[in-house]
Structure 1
Amino acid sequence: MNFSTFQTKVKKKLNNKFVQNIGWLTGAEFAIRVVRLMTTVVLARFLTQYDYGLAAIVLTTYEFTFVFTDIGIGAKLIQAKPEELEDLCRNAYWLSWVLYGCLFLIQGLVAFPIAWFYSDTNLVLPIAVLGGVFLVTPLGVVQAILLRRENRLEIQALNKVAVQGTSNILSLVFAVLGLGIWAIVIPKLMVTPLWAYIYRRNHSWRPSGGFRSEKWKDIFGFGKNVLGVELLKTLRTNLDYLLVGRFLGITELGIYFFAFNAGLGISLSIIKSINAALLPHLCSLRQDWAKMKQQFYKSLKIIAALIIPLVLLQSTMAPFYVPIVFGEKWIEAIPVLMIICISAIPRPFGDAASQLMVAIGRPDIDFKWNIIFTTVFTISLFIGIQWQVIGLALTVLIVHMLALPAYTIWATRYAFNRNR
């Protein structure tokens, strides 16, 4: 192959919209990670293991509440036909206000039973305060979805840099000032108006007319399986936290939470970027199954090229950088960190299969798979916790390594063999 041919191939790949969107989002994640690394170092040195345990519970509660925002609004608007889009947007706008308002109230109410469950009243106020995020989010949620539909993911990338960068810097400052758990909670609340402003500034859509609800049933009908999948994913993501905090104690949870975030933080950020780019990319190719199949396989190759080297490098280097960067007190978390880190390898492939099912209009299949996977995962965790946090980490790795590649292979065959 001569240089001219090589140059043409490279240029063609770079012109691929999926690659461009991955580039934007991955670049944003890299910029965020530079700031987050400094913040994580400061938090690891100024926060205690107990503080990390509290943070794990507060953030887990928020994640469980937040998952109910994904009732299919985003997937429905991305999949919608052009002639029905405006009407769906107006309905989605008012639905989001009702939905997010209810979630704000729910977050405040669940703070009390959660504090009772963990026998720690220090959890009540941080959980309730973090719910304030839901009161601002509806201002920009429809615009954010429309930008994804239009494949303008550079705006999402820039938004993440601005919002998460600001949040991390504020956390750093508040940690140095000795605010403890509040160094994590307050910044998330403070940057939400910035998140909404950036999306509204970069998309012209605004609601017209009064309150609309006639399309809510259509949105719920499409989104019930999407919501079910997200609920099960969130349960799997946080179930190990719940078990460690309940059965091993909040300090042990702090060690596990640190290992999980230090080990999977970068990888999960990139995986989220891939998911954000993949669904609109696949939906845009639904009229040409052959091209959709070709692009999906290319996407898997891109995912492998991004994730596998990063995960292996981060895992093997953990014994060297953890004590230097984060401090000697986190040395006991290194084995857990290394194991959890490797479990990131199959995750984006399983997520890609899930996005493929949504793109071909079969989120119900993905929902059924997630029920099976979550059941197996839950039973396995209850067995693994008998060997403390190291047993739990090994369980997470083994289940993901066995289950997700199998589902990816099956989903790919199902989607493309039936549409040849």
Structure 2
Amino acid sequence: MSKNRIIKGGFYLTIVNVLSQFLAIVVNIVLARLLLPEDFGLVALTMTYIGFITLFTNMGFGSSIIHEQSTTNKQLSSIYWLNYGLSIFSFIIIISTAKFAANFYDEPKLSAIVYVAALNILINPFYSIQYKLLERDLEFKTISKINLSGILVGSISAIIGAYYGLGVYALVIQPLVSSVVRMMLILVYKRWFPKFYFNIKEIKHMIWYSLKFKASQMSMYFERNIDYLILGKFFTSVILGYYAFAYNIMYTPVKRISYIFSEVLFPSFSSFKNDKIKIINGYFKSVNLVALVSIPAMTILAFNADLIIHLVFGQKWDGAIPIVRILCFAGAIQSISQFGGVIFSSIGKPEVTLYVSIGRTILTVLAIILGVQYGVLWVAYFLVIAKALSYILFLLVLNYYIPFSIRQLFNSLQGPMVSLFSLSTIYVLFYLDYLNVNAWTLLLLMILVALTILYIFHKNTIVGILKVLKDKSK
């Protein structure tokens, strides 16, 4: 694959994700003002439960299509029908166990919400193969248009639903509408349709690869969602809503920034999977790009959470402020570690991501078990420690398969670490009354310091991005 095509793909996904990030912020602000913390808690439980069931019942073959690079129409048709059959099976299991989930968490409303949200499982298989074909062929410009359209329409639907009193269901219809829009557009852009053909022998090797990839995804799911599964049992839906609100803010750089690199790096690394030097250099360049945005941004948010949340979301979210302060640092760490698993998948060893994720999950579970005894804030504190240890674990495993120097790691994080230290120093001086400024001045000062450090350490990167933007505008 040409380097130019990969760069262009990254550019389009970056622009779309910047727009998506802005849209997500606006939508979250509106929904947070229209809905109650309890609604967010119930949706968090719903999505976590559905995700938990589909881990065991839905395989997902997209990874094998990308890794394989070339597949016959018969193979794709076989995968399509197998994937859809598993999706139907998943749907049946979910709706038949929804009442059990409602009883377990002592939330009577949960089963009805699950029934509606589970419809998405029947929609996704209609276009999942076509979407992966677009990814495999690095058609990121098309993917960007499709994703942005889906997010936009889904967000508008959620706001309208919340405004007209749908409550928690406004949050549920958002992914449903988004999926329908994406499905329609993908079927227009990628005119591939399955044949009435199925031969499992022809896709055995793809199934095996998908199983290994799925196993790693399962462990990553537990790492990301085990907190909801446990906390939903010990805390009320209101407290869980505060936690989900804070976690969503924490997870923003992971979803919106790391997503770009996962989408681009997996097919890109797969195209030169035998050149480990290229892969490790590409990884650390990506870490540098993610960290230069996520670390200072999350640090500023953590130190100015009172002002920002009161101003933007309203006082009814006061209970989430202490959790936001803590989890922002967990989000900064996870943003630079989340997309690392694509390296192992790209070199044909997705099972390694499984092993790493198991270790991360164990650390996360220990953090929650220790924290839940003392309250939700201690859960957040221990999660920050768990995320830091998880990243160290990932680096040790990565170094085993693709050796790298400490200098490479240091160079990729040098600027963001200086920014973190500088912003922390400013906050300590403010907290100890050595810096006599108001909240607005503190926020402005931190932004100026972060931008200055960003320019000093990443001048060439910024100039390069501006040059690309200038070239695109011609």
Residue 34 (structure 2) aligned to one of 38, 46, 51 = 46
Contact 2:253/2:335 (<8 A) preserved: no
The answer to whether residue 164 in structure 2 is matched with residue 199 in structure 1 is no
Evaluate the alpha carbon distance shift between residue 17 and residue 296 of structure 1 in structure 2; reply closer, same or farther with a 3 A threshold: farther
1:223-261 C-alpha deviation (Å, 9 max, x unpaired) = 222112211211121221222221121111111111111
Q: Following TM superposition, by how much is the alpha carbon of 1:56 offset from its aligned partner in structure 2, in angstroms? A: 1.4
The residue aligned with 1:79 is 67
Evaluate the alpha carbon distance shift between residue 219 and residue 110 of structure 1 in structure 2; reply closer, same or farther with a 3 A threshold: farther
Contact 1:353/1:412 (<8 A) preserved: no
The residue aligned with 2:301 is 314
Aligned partners of 1:70, 1:99: CA distance in 2, in Å?
A: 5
The residue aligned with 1:5 is none
Q: Following TM superposition, by how much is the alpha carbon of 1:34 offset from its aligned partner in structure 2, in angstroms? A: 2.8
The residue aligned with 1:302 is 289
Give the stretch that moved more between structures: 288-297 or 222-231.
Answer: 288-297
Evaluate the alpha carbon distance shift between residue 336 and residue 316 of structure 1 in structure 2; reply closer, same or farther with a 3 A threshold: same
Aligned partners of 1:195, 1:64: CA distance in 2, in Å?
A: 24
The one-letter amino acid of 1:153's match is F
Contact 2:266/2:346 (<8 A) preserved: yes
Evaluate the alpha carbon distance shift between residue 293 and residue 143 of structure 1 in structure 2; reply closer, same or farther with a 3 A threshold: same
Q: 1:164-179 maps to which residues of 2 (within 5 A)?
A: 164-179=151-166
Aligned partners of 1:249, 1:349: CA distance in 2, in Å?
A: 32
Higher-RCO chain (CA-CA 8 Å, sequence separation at least 6) = 1
Evaluate the alpha carbon distance shift between residue 85 and residue 269 of structure 1 in structure 2; reply closer, same or farther with a 3 A threshold: farther
Q: Following TM superposition, by how much is the alpha carbon of 1:52 offset from its aligned partner in structure 2, in angstroms? A: 2.0
The answer to whether residue 51 in structure 2 is matched with residue 57 in structure 1 is no
The residue aligned with 1:9 is none
Contact 2:153/2:181 (<8 A) preserved: no
The answer to whether residue 318 in structure 2 is matched with residue 325 in structure 1 is no
Contact 1:283/1:359 (<8 A) preserved: yes
The answer to whether residue 146 in structure 2 is matched with residue 159 in structure 1 is yes
Evaluate the alpha carbon distance shift between residue 195 and residue 65 of structure 1 in structure 2; reply closer, same or farther with a 3 A threshold: farther
Q: Following TM superposition, by how much is the alpha carbon of 1:397 offset from its aligned partner in structure 2, in angstroms? A: 0.8
The one-letter amino acid of 1:50's match is E
The residue aligned with 1:277 is 264
Evaluate the alpha carbon distance shift between residue 220 and residue 293 of structure 1 in structure 2; reply closer, same or farther with a 3 A threshold: same
Aligned partners of 2:291, 2:353: CA distance in 1, in Å?
A: 22
TM-score w.r.t. length of structure 2: 0.79
Secondary structure in 1 matching 2:304: helix
The answer to whether residue 169 in structure 2 is matched with residue 143 in structure 1 is no
Evaluate the alpha carbon distance shift between residue 405 and residue 26 of structure 1 in structure 2; reply closer, same or farther with a 3 A threshold: farther
Contact 1:111/1:123 (<8 A) preserved: yes
Contact 2:372/2:378 (<8 A) preserved: yes
The one-letter amino acid of 1:29's match is N
The one-letter amino acid of 2:365's match is T
TM-score w.r.t. length of structure 1: 0.89
Secondary structure in 2 matching 1:116: helix
The residue aligned with 1:7 is none
Secondary structure in 1 matching 2:75: helix
1:22-74 C-alpha deviation (Å, 9 max, x unpaired) = 33223222222333323222222222222222121112223324545773511
The one-letter amino acid of 1:103's match is S
Secondary structure in 1 matching 2:227: helix
The one-letter amino acid of 2:347's match is I
Aligned partners of 1:176, 1:130: CA distance in 2, in Å?
A: 20
Aligned partners of 1:231, 1:81: CA distance in 2, in Å?
A: 24
The residue aligned with 1:10 is none
Aligned partners of 2:281, 2:140: CA distance in 1, in Å?
A: 22
The answer to whether residue 235 in structure 2 is matched with residue 224 in structure 1 is no
Q: 1:374-413 maps to which residues of 2 (within 5 A)?
A: 374-413=361-400
Q: Following TM superposition, by how much is the alpha carbon of 1:97 offset from its aligned partner in structure 2, in angstroms? A: 1.1
Residue 341 (structure 1) aligned to one of 311, 324, 328 = 328
Contact 1:347/1:400 (<8 A) preserved: yes
Give the stretch that moved more between structures: 242-251 or 117-126.
Answer: 242-251
Contact 1:357/1:415 (<8 A) preserved: no
Aligned partners of 2:17, 2:186: CA distance in 1, in Å?
A: 18
Q: Following TM superposition, by how much is the alpha carbon of 1:85 offset from its aligned partner in structure 2, in angstroms? A: 4.2
The residue aligned with 1:115 is 102
Contact 2:44/2:228 (<8 A) preserved: yes
Aligned partners of 1:226, 1:294: CA distance in 2, in Å?
A: 23
RMSD over equivalenced CA pairs, Å:
2.3
The residue aligned with 2:359 is 372
1:279-337 C-alpha deviation (Å, 9 max, x unpaired) = 11111112433333333332332232343233223333322110011001112211211
Q: Following TM superposition, by how much is the alpha carbon of 1:86 offset from its aligned partner in structure 2, in angstroms? A: 3.3
Gaps of 5+ in 1: 1-14
Give the stretch that moved more between structures: 131-140 or 302-311.
Answer: 302-311
Secondary structure in 1 matching 2:351: helix
Give the stretch that moved more between structures: 342-351 or 318-327.
Answer: 342-351
Q: Following TM superposition, by how much is the alpha carbon of 1:144 offset from its aligned partner in structure 2, in angstroms? A: 0.5
The one-letter amino acid of 1:131's match is A
Contact 1:94/1:212 (<8 A) preserved: no
Secondary structure in 2 matching 1:286: coil
The answer to whether residue 45 in structure 2 is matched with residue 34 in structure 1 is no
Evaluate the alpha carbon distance shift between residue 286 and residue 85 of structure 1 in structure 2; reply closer, same or farther with a 3 A threshold: farther
Secondary structure in 2 matching 1:178: coil
Number of matched pairs: 403
The one-letter amino acid of 1:213's match is I
Aligned partners of 1:415, 1:146: CA distance in 2, in Å?
A: 28
Structure 1 runs of 4+ aligned residues shifted over 4 Å read 15-19, 66-70
Q: Following TM superposition, by how much is the alpha carbon of 1:115 offset from its aligned partner in structure 2, in angstroms? A: 0.3
Over the matched positions of the two proteins, sequence identity in percent amounts to 24
Contact 1:54/1:250 (<8 A) preserved: yes
The residue aligned with 2:346 is 359
Aligned partners of 1:24, 1:308: CA distance in 2, in Å?
A: 23
The residue aligned with 1:8 is none
Q: Following TM superposition, by how much is the alpha carbon of 1:216 offset from its aligned partner in structure 2, in angstroms? A: 4.5
Aligned partners of 1:332, 1:54: CA distance in 2, in Å?
A: 17
The one-letter amino acid of 1:239's match is I
Contact 1:350/1:405 (<8 A) preserved: no
Aligned partners of 2:259, 2:380: CA distance in 1, in Å?
A: 21
Q: Following TM superposition, by how much is the alpha carbon of 1:187 offset from its aligned partner in structure 2, in angstroms? A: 3.2
